[in-house]
Amino acid sequence: MGPAAHGLAPAASSIGLVSTVARTPLILDVDTGIDDSLAILYACASPDAELVAVTCLSGNVAAADVQRNTRAVLELAGRADVEVALGREQPLLRPLDLAPDTHGPHGIGHAVLPEPAAPLSQRFAPALVAEEARRRPGEITLVTLGPLTNLAIAVLAEPALPKLLRRWVLMGGSYRVPGNTTPTTEWNIHCDPEAARICLAAWAAAVEQDATIPRPLALGLDVTETARMLPDHVVALARRAGSTPDDTLDPGREPGAPERRSVASNPIVRYVADALRFYMEFHAAYDGFYGAFVHDPLATAAALDPSLVRTRALAVDVDASGGVADGQTIADWRGLWHRPPNVDVAVEADAAEFLRRWVERVGGLAAARSDVAR
């Protein structure tokens, strides 16, 4: 993608074409996390995605919960065959910070999933990323949905990684809007700003040496907070899945009753409703709306179809000074640094089309899984 911004796609432009488009091999790097789980479901439900592996690290919750949640969600989606590898369990230099108030004590809100049967991979997640990129040079898109610790370790061990990957897409940063963790910082970057600096510097150096290497595509809060999943979207999901409706996502109902779980007949719909109810109660308390920002699924959708976002090529750095702006992603909008751009920052997203696709695809997966169960 060149320095010029590209336009938004017409609504539903690629949905009817996915059967004729080659599948994109994806590795998702996650800290599952409610919205990570919705991103995993989207990848499993997308005919234009080949889910190569999912790598895990601490972030939203501790790594032990992350890898368990990830394997359980994959099994819910019928994808126990996907390799799940655990990586770094602590940030590079800092104490571990977790977000149970946002995602629940174990990371999936009010949802409860069976203990996964598929084993955890014996590979170390950063090694897996490097090994798969070497095995399939120029093919794999890496989508990082949590802190960048695993990727920093991978690129330090394999400096050629920016050239070996097809592209790196990240959910991370806050470029022209306030942060969601401190006044200036977004959660994923906040958790390990040193790792973020290593990754951005590695890609900047690689792009400067070889202009054919694509810049990372960054979806920050500027665009991910335009993707709001509301109770109506869960109703539409249930309809698409052929499920009896869920009755728990009622904004007028008293919050904080995890024992009252979804009565939807479809297990994927039940999971989504129970996980999202926790997230929606959080946003109702802190952000003034009963719904959920679904940051990670939007980033995953944009990795498969970059026309969902409009971007601007910018020089971006991360503050890791420990001061009041520690963890801030700083974008040079006016070119004052006179540095070449090192990130394609998303400045607009077709959130309505993304949400339509999420309901259609995950609803279709839910319907198919219901048929398998019967």
Q: Which residues have a catalytic role annotated?
A: 295
CB atoms under 10 Å from CB of 83, counted, come to 19
Instruction: Spell 269-303 as b/e; 16+ CB within 10 A means b.
Output: bbbbbbbbbbbbbbbeeeeeebbbbbbbbbbbbbb
User: Is residue 118 packed enough to be buried (19+ CB in 10 Å), middle (13-18) or exposed (0-12)?
Assistant: middle
Helix extents (H) in the chain: 34-45, 63-76, 100-103, 125-135, 149-157, 161-164, 187-191, 193-209, 221-224, 231-241, 267-286, 295-304, 351-373
DSSP state of 185: B
Which residues are CB-contacts of 2 (< 8 A; sequence separation ≥ 6)?
313
Cα–Cα distance for residue pair 218/118, rounded to 1 Å: 32
Cα–Cα distance for residue pair 84/128, rounded to 1 Å: 10
Cα 171 from chain centroid (whole Å): 6
Strands 316-318 and 309-314: unpaired
Residue 346: phi and psi, rounded to 5, are: -70, 125
